[in-house]
Every structure is written in C-alpha cells, then in structure tokens.
Structure 1
C-alpha cells in the first residue's frame, strides 16, 4: 500500500494541565460488514469534539468497541485552532501551549487487558484543507545555533499530492498521525510531547496509510487515541514541526491475545519494524535493536546469535524524531523479502 546541546521539549512550556471535559461514553455494537470495496466499512465515527490532550488512565473513553471495529476519526491540527490560513508570524508570540496535541479518543476495546496487544491498521488517511510549519523560539534541534521565528502556511486538500516549499522545491505529501497511543498505567495527566512505551508522539513518517501498528496494552480496554496530523515530515523533525494539519483517518482496531511487546512495533508490505524510546539516541537505538532480535527469535526460528547477526547484516536503524524531549525515538526496519514473508 505504500508507501552541542539538546534542546528542551515543548513539555517544559506546557506542564501538566487538566484535560478537557470528556464527552459522554457511547457503546455501539459493530454492524455486520458488507464488503463493497477494498476499504472496510466504517462502523463508528469520532469527531473533533471528542478530544483530549494528555495521556492517562483517568481519561474516560468516548467510545467502546469490540475487536475488529472500523473507526473513522477526525483530528485537529496540533495548535488546536490557534492558527489559520491568514495567520502572520506574530501568531507565534501568542501561541498557548496548553491545548497542544488534541487527540481524538480514547477508544475502549472490550476484553483488552494489560499484557495484550492492540493492532491498529491505518486504512485511510486524508488531508485537511490547510497546514502550517513553524520554527518556535527556544525550540528545535538546532536551538543553540539557529534561534529564529518562522511560519509558513500551506493550502491543502484531501487529494493533493505535493506542495511548493519555495521556487522549484516541491515536497511530496505523505500524511500520517504524529501521535498514536494507548493509556499508560497512571492516573497522572502526562504531556503528549515525548514518545513513551505507550506510543505517543512518535513522529515517524513511516506510520502512514497502509501501515499496521502494534501497541502494548497497559490498562483495561487499552484506551487508544490518535491525532497530531502531519502532511509531510522528514525523519527527525529537526525544526520541531512538520506541516501540521487536520486529518480524516479510518482505522481498524483489533485485540491480540497471542502477542506480547514492550513498546510499539509496526509493519508495512515491505518491512517489519521495532521502536525504542529513550533520553539518548544510543539508548533508543539499543532498545530498537534488542526488540528486533526478540522479534526474530520468536517469529522466525532464529537463535539469539543468528538474530543479532541478521540485524547487523540487514537491519536498518532510523531516527524517527530528536526534538520531543526528554525522549527520542529510533526504529529498526527488517525487509520482509529477507524473511520470506512476501
């Protein structure tokens, strides 16, 4: 289908704030699916009114579903409406960080228990009407070298495939949700800014349409949320933002009782991938590699020595993001053709 000094996180600016009042939970039984196209039939719809912007087991679900439910989720752009197509650079000075990262959800999956895995298939990802990219004072990977303000706005639409950055520099669009995750096992209201074991702000452009995500479950029901739409972003997201936009996402959520992982993993038609978060790239890279060794041992009849050697010969380490401190995210990809999975 498809596709020197570290700077402070936005979390420093945001702090911990109470989440928004949650919409009343609804429980809807999935309808019998009638296959009329290659895309699954939508069974539930979540709107931009059903959002929150923290990770916590204390945030009640807005929807309860059975395994296999297909959900249409509309997401807001990362500033939660503080920018528009007429915004000027002065809007950066008035930016309130408390609403950052409105996430659509959470969704409670029946029978999901700690130790299980939620499989989330990203069937459709459509762009909103517009997007923004900014360099914020005091934020970004090169904040000690390039401390400036910058704002550029882009007109978008759901079928648009490229935008003009400047002159003849064209960018191919690749919409994806920057934040996806389940609730951590805490009633503390955690910032959405850093990636964690529950997922969160992974900012990985490989997690786009057609990708299958796997999330470890930490609390009953899982409590899955999604948001922080990006129209395009390079690996690393070094200035601190992508082209931030709203999205329409159709995803399928399934409960897996026979899989166990410590941090999110994902796969596409081309490869299987593990993720590792940590305060340093070294630590994150080691975790991503270890999780790939564990995956190869458990699923491809390899010894520890063989799996480790194969990671060296064929595993591809990638930096997903470096700006969402206190954690960074590194992934390891293993081509399915090598594993005879195609």
Structure 2
C-alpha cells in the first residue's frame, strides 16, 4: 500500500534509513547479529504518483541528499561482496571475516573519515552523498527484493545517483509506486566489498510524469552527460545492455544511424561500474552531451532535466 499520493511536479522531502535500519552503530554491532536477515536495505515509500500509467516515464530529479547523522558505517560480510564466495560463485576458500568500520561525517568540511581497524591509519575522503536504491514497482505483479537492480531501478548502487542527477524510469503499474533508500555518504565505483558508507538521509527530489513515452532501461542525465544503465549477470551482459541503450538514445537524439552512434560511443564514451555484488550487476554507459550535434535536444525528454534542475535551484 502507498504511504502517500503525489502528483507530477511535486517536490518531496523523504527521510530514509540506512541499509542496516540504523542497527549497526559500532564495531561490536555485526550485521549478522543485530539485523534480521533478510530484512535489510529498507526503503521509504512507496509513493503513488497520480496519472502515472504503464507506458509512461517517471522523471526523478535528485535536488539534495543530506546525511541525517554525523556518522556512517560499512562492513564486510562472510558471503557477500565481489571478492568472496557466494551462493552464485562457489569456491572452497573460507568466508571473509565480518567486520564493521565507522566513518565520521563532517558536513561543514565535506569529508568522510576512513579509519583502519588494525592500525592507526586514517584519511579524509570527499563527502559525495548518493542514493543506492531507487525504483518503481516492477511489472507483471512481480515482487522483487530491494537489493535487486533491474529494469524497474532498485538497488542500482551507482555514485552517479547524486544531487543534480535526473533519473528516468519506465512506469510498469498504475501509480508507478516510487520508493527510495540505501543512502551512501560515498561509494567507490563497483562497491567491491558490497557495502558503501551507509547513512540515513534527508533526500529532496522533484518528480514529473512524461506521458506516452516509454523507457525500457533506467537512464540518467546530468548537466554534462547522458547515461544508460544495464543490470544483469554476467557483468558483460550488463555492459552490453547499457551500451546498446546508450547507442539507441544517442541515435534518437542526433539522427545518427546506429553504426555512426556505435562508433561515437565506442571512441568517446565511459563505462563506470555501479556494483559487482548484488543479485544483478550494474554497469553504466555515458557520453558527454557536448559531443552531440548542437541541434539535438539536450538529453531528450523535452529538455526536462534542465527545467527540473532550475526548479531544484529555486528550492535553495
């Protein structure tokens, strides 16, 4: 059941809890002891979006993401992450130790402090808040865990989901049913250990329904780039999905044929990895909008990103 009904054009301020539901606060709070498996990665919502119907696209602009506390946590899990064996990657090696790291967050200086657990080494990293999980309901009456990324969005876990980014998601059910959570103070590309610097957030976003326009895979737009997202296993299939979608998007925006768009993306694109640890992996394909013909509508979707960006600036 939705927690609230919202309309296209609304501004939402959403409080989200961290992926551990706030239960991991120090080195002794091992997730396997204090969390109820598999009830991890809680999200806020869902929000019923009036007038959103299957075949539409929901645009979500992330206006602000503010850490709700002055600390965040990360951890290793015995059977989770890119460099340990899992149920899908079976090996004979022993599982990794479970360990918790606590990060101090200084919002004034814009830093996140890493402290080693076995030595006195520490280093201040840039605070770069993001939302790890954001999506709409999948189609076909399917229920998916919030840890799974796919065509509906979900646990995309890409640092590109930061303030200033617009996310485009295809609507699968009446009302879209938008939900979000899993904030990170920062995360490296790939989220190798499976856990970012997990935080509770206050996230401000604006939404708009684009009627009659379908979006098959999640897409992102920033002031500088357009990006397509692929989610799959193995990793190369996620890569192929993202590349194929970006080539199609580029061709649509520019009038280039598919092979010319393929050549342009091949020589000028980026392919950042979102995660390599979830049930599906996430890979992005990105290209700088400045490389597209000047006659192309910036980003497509009726130049919606620029308008939502301006609305977000007026909120400050």
Same fold at TM > 0.5 = yes
Partner residue, 2:230 = 276
- Whether 2:278 is the aligned partner of 1:338: answer no
Partner residue, 1:118 = 58
Partner residue, 2:79 = 138
Give the whole-Å Cα distance in 1 for the aligned partners of 2:272 and 2:281: 11
CA offset digits 1:203-241 (Å, max 9, x no partner):
000110010110000001111111001001001101010
Give the whole-Å Cα distance in 2 for the aligned partners of 1:187 and 1:140: 29
CA offset digits 1:124-146 (Å, max 9, x no partner):
11012121000011211111467
Distance 1:332 1:338, change over 3 A: same
Partner residue, 1:31 = none
CA offset digits 1:24-48 (Å, max 9, x no partner):
xxxxxxxxxxxxxxxxxxxxxxxxx
- 1:152 equivalent among 91, 101, 108: 101
Partner residue, 2:132 = 178
- 2:48 equivalent among 108, 122, 128: 108
Give the C-alpha shift of residue 90 in structure 1.
4.6
Give the whole-Å Cα distance in 2 for the aligned partners of 1:211 and 1:197: 18
CA offset digits 1:49-99 (Å, max 9, x no partner):
xxxxxxxxxxx2111122100000000011113212x45155543432232
Question: What does 1:68-217 align with in structure 2 at a 5 Å threshold?
Answer: 68-84=9-25, 86-88=26-28, 90=30, 92-129=32-69, 130-144=71-85, 147-156=96-105, 158-166=107-115, 167-217=121-171
Partner residue, 2:8 = 67
CA RMSD of aligned residues (A): 1.8
Give the whole-Å Cα distance in 2 for the aligned partners of 1:91 and 1:274: 33
Q: Is the 8 A contact 2:23 2:29 kept in 1?
A: no
SS across alignment from 2:261: helix
Q: Is the 8 A contact 2:55 2:212 kept in 1?
A: no
Give the whole-Å Cα distance in 2 for the aligned partners of 1:219 and 1:160: 43
Give the whole-Å Cα distance in 2 for the aligned partners of 1:126 and 1:217: 27
Distance 1:148 1:250, change over 3 A: same
Q: Is the 8 A contact 1:131 1:154 kept in 2?
A: yes
Gaps of 5+ in 1: 1-59
Partner residue, 2:210 = 256
How many residues align structurally?
A: 281
Give the whole-Å Cα distance in 2 for the aligned partners of 1:244 and 1:121: 21
SS across alignment from 2:265: helix
Give the whole-Å Cα distance in 2 for the aligned partners of 1:271 and 1:91: 37
Gaps of 5+ in 2: 86-92, 116-120, 300-316
Q: Is the 8 A contact 2:106 2:112 kept in 1?
A: no
- Compute the TM-score of the two structures, normalised by the length of structure 1: 0.78
